[in-house]
Structure 1
Amino acid sequence: MKAAIWKKITVLVLILAVPGFLYYLLTAKGKNRYKPLAHFGPKEVAKTTHRFHGKDIPDTNYYQLPSFKLTDQDGKPFTEANLKGKIFVASFFYTHCPTVCSTINNNLSYLVGTYWKNKMVYFTSITVDPDRDTPDVLKKYLQSFKPESNRWVFLTGDTTSVYNLARKGFLVDAVQTGKDDFIYSDKLILIDQDKHIRGYYSGANTNDVNRLNDEIKVLIAEELRKVDKALY
């Protein structure tokens, strides 16, 4: 009889203790249980430092996405300010693309559906054919995917701005080689809340898209840990 009582007490203690222990591991008091994502682009040593094991370690200034001004599918101005404090995935495409674009955008549609309830995550698709891809054309194209969220934005602008943003901002290729020919990256580009580039993934490769899905979650966890750490 006593053994049965002690068994019940032990089970009750475990039920009460395990959630608290898991919370401890996942909060700022616990240790980071995932591998942080890399930072892409040029970086430089900062003038500031932080303490680590009693030593002053120089901070690093990571590359940040520059300012930009484009136009969304509703004809409204869209700048980096619209994405302030957001995690977002950027990509390049054009609506008349006969091959890989539909695959990439179908994969993006899947990701948009996955995160439609999460207001931290946005998706931006930028046309490399702005002369033909007007806001009206982009809006009709976007609607063909029946998006579950208004956080998937299609963008256009003048050719110079778009190509400069691709090459000098997102650090990917984009160039028009003929009337209907474009060379551009198939990469989905993951940007964190501080405008740092954290990953490149082939939008046409299922394994890469799945990896992007996982690494969006890593960024979400990073941001939640920052908030949690500020509470202690």
Structure 2
Amino acid sequence: MKNSRILLIGLCAIILAACSGNSDIPDKTDWALGDFNYINQNNEEVGLENLKGKITVANMVFTNCTTVCSPMTANMARLQRMADEENLDVQFLSFSVDPEVDTPEVLKDFGENFQADFSSWHFLTGYTQKEIEEFGRENFKTIVAKPKNGGEVVHGTSFYLINQEGTIIKSYDGLDVPYEEIMEHIEILQNQG
């Protein structure tokens, strides 16, 4: 009798641990996203206040990139379609790391190449090179650097999940994307909201 009671208590503890593990996102970053107010592909202002109350996935790209940006943008487009199919209310942000080249018009053309749904995906510009370099470092803990002697902008390749309060909750590989994990984490945030 005593052994079966211990076994039952142990089993309950395992079940409770498994349930609580599914209700939160592991290895959270909890980085507060700093205030910003930039312009998107439609020349509309988008800022931190626009994120409040919504789940957001963000990344950093630029349109003249010959390596990682096109695959990352295609991956983000796939994630957007998956979120739509699951009826998840998610918005997407792509910060340009080459704002002098990436005007709203250039960003709109770029997004259209990937069938971006602009109703929930903002391609952002409207800041200086120095501003985006500082913004990337301070908020996303990533490098953004445009070489002085020419060449492509150096930047991170992560996707960032931002919760409804504007806190960066987690980062993911933007090239080898863990789609199902991101979708699961979006659902957790949606259920918590």
Coordinate RMSD, CA, aligned: 1.9
Structure 1 residue 180 displacement after superposition: 2.8
Cα contact 2:53–2:164 (8 A) shared by 1: yes
1:133-212 matches, cutoff 5 A: 133-148=102-117, 150-156=119-125, 157-177=127-147, 178-206=149-177, 208-212=178-182
Q: Are 1:40 and 2:29 an aligned pair?
A: yes
Q: Which has the higher contact order (CA 8 A, sep 6+)?
A: 2
Percent sequence identity is 27
Cα contact 1:91–1:124 (8 A) shared by 2: yes
Cα contact 1:113–1:149 (8 A) shared by 2: no
Structure 1 residue 70 displacement after superposition: 1.1
Q: Tell me how many residue pairs correspond in the alignment.
A: 171
What SS does the corresponding residue of 1:130 show, helix, strand or coil?
coil
Structure 1 residue 32 displacement after superposition: 4.1
Which stretches of structure 1, 4 residues or more, deviate above 4 A after TM superposition? Answer: none
Alignment partners' CA distance in 2, 1:221 and 1:33: 14
Cα contact 2:142–2:156 (8 A) shared by 1: yes
Alignment partners' CA distance in 2, 1:32 and 1:215: 14
List per-residue Cα deviations over 1:91-118 (Å, max 9, x = no partner): 0011111111111111100111122374
Max radius of gyration: which structure? 1
2:192 paired residue among 222, 225, 232: 222
Sort the Cα spacing of 1:128 and 1:149 in 2 relative to 1 into closer, same or farther, 3 A: closer
TM-score computed with the length of structure 2 as normaliser = 0.81
Unaligned runs of 5+ in 1: 1-30, 42-62, 224-232
